[in-house]
Amino acid sequence: MWYTDPVATQNLTLSIEKDVLLEARKYALEHDTTVNQLVRDYLADLSGLEGRRRLARERLLAAMDRGIAEVEPITWKREDLYER
């Protein structure tokens, strides 16, 4: 069986003009990040991945607020469980 880790990363080689890379490095430094992270964030935004993650997180939190299982009102007594 083939398993793909959803958070696994792969290397990517890009060709980019030197002046563009220099400006990207400056921008990354000013924003306390890396060019690598800038590219990852851009591609994630482009693919809608972040939006899907946010939606999944919101749905999970809403489900947790509701509880894992919806329980109807209890109409039985404890003693009823042990009657035979």
Q: Measure the CA–CA gap between 10 and 36, rounded to whole angstroms.
A: 12
23-27, 49-53, 80-84: least confidently modelled range: 80-84
Specify the pLDDT at position 45: 79
Note the maximum CA span of the chain: 83
- In eight-state DSSP terms, residue 72 is P
The residue written with tokens 């009823």 in the block is 80
Q: How many CA atoms lie within 13 A of 75 on its CB side?
A: 2
pTM of the model: 0.52
Q: What is the pLDDT of residues 30-81, one digit of tens each?
A: 999 999 999 998 888 787 777 888 888 888 888 878 776 666 788 888 888 7
Specify the pLDDT at position 1: 44
